[in-house]
A = this chain, B = another copy of it.
Amino acid sequence: MNVFTTSAEVHAWSIAQKRAGRTVALVPTMGYLHEGHLSLIREARKHCDCVIVSIFVNPTQFAPNEDYDAYPHKEDDDIALCEAEGAAAVFLPNADEMYPRDASTWVEETVLAKGYCGAQRPIHFRGVCTVVAKLFNIAAPDVAVFGQKDFQQVAVIRRMVRDLNFPIEIIRAPIIRDEDGLAKSSRNTYLTADMRKRALSLSRALFAAKAAVDAGERNAAAIEATIRETVTAEGWIPDYVNVIDTETLTPLQEVLPGTSAILLACRCEGIRLIDNILL
């Protein structure tokens, strides 16, 4: 497996793959890889001949009050995991490689990025779009795989890809959960044992909502209220709970099975968790 630290190496490698008739899939990550990321690599391998995983904690998507400096790292383990999953290459740039001191160009999606996590984190998706556009140009993939866990992120990136005509197929891979239901996240490492136990209320609330919809419930307000009660009872404060259209992210009053999802973000003692479920 190749381990690259410069954009030029990655681009040359990708072009060489294509010249040799091989397709390339990109899995962009911020490292501290867990089973969720590994499922993205496996999904990517289904679509393309070779997979490149980028590992870069992108400073431009963190606000000054956020956890950029605290974000967990374990590069050596990450590289070993990528190799074990059959990735062909890993791209591990440093911040100087990705952002010249006088970098001044941004890619911004201005509609889907505004609500939900974007409302709480106003510069977040501008940073995400910019770094993903850069990674797309560097790695020139045929396919890129993102996790459904970051539901809004996938919607924003799909919109960016459509609007800017990136010739790249975006795959949304399912959420991977611990056995007890907690959605896998690098940030779960911040949870104490007690918080983690109470955090199970998020997935429990979403599963119950899905079961209610399967049993005929269509009223979004009722579904959202029940979820709020469930997580609040466990000490998690909802940032937002919304039944939404999966493509436009518009809040819905009525569930439309097949094109609806529930997005959920909660806070507790400075930790913020997100989760979602397709309906």
Q: Which residues of A pack against B, CB within 8 Å?
A: 7, 11, 100, 102-112, 129-130, 133-134, 137-138, 140, 159-160, 162-167, 248
Contacts and interface: CB of A to CB of B under 8 A. Distances in A.
B103 A163 contact: yes
A163 B111 contact: no
Contacts of A165: 7, 11, 134, 137-138
Nearest to A134: B165
A139 to B, nearest CB: 9
A160 B105 contact: yes
Given A105-B107, A105-B109, A137-B167, 14 more contacts: A7-B165, A11-B167, A104-B110, A104-B111, A104-B163, A105-B108, A105-B110, A105-B129, A105-B159, A106-B108, A107-B107, A107-B108, A107-B164, A134-B165
Contacts of A100: 162-163
Which applies to chain A's interface (DSSP): helix, strand, loop or mixed?
Answer: mixed
Contact of A164 (B108, B137, B163, B167): B137
Given A7-B165, A11-B167, A164-B133, A111 B107 contact: no
B134 A164 contact: yes
A106 B111 contact: no
A2 B106 CA distance: 34
A248 B102 CA distance: 10
Nearest to A160: B105
Closest 10 CB pairs of A and B: A105-B163, A104-B111, A137-B165, A105-B109, A105-B160, A134-B165, A138-B165, A103-B163, A104-B110, A137-B166
Contacts of A167: 11, 137, 140
Contacts of A109: 104-105
18 contacts: A104-B110, A104-B111, A105-B107, A105-B110, A105-B159, A105-B160, A105-B164, A106-B107, A106-B110, A107-B164, A108-B108, A133-B164, A134-B163, A134-B165, A137-B164, A137-B165, A138-B165, A140-B167
A164 to B, nearest CB: 5
A159 to B, nearest CB: 6
A179 to B, nearest CB: 39
A105 B102 CA distance: 22
Contacts of A137: 164-167
Contacts of A103: 163
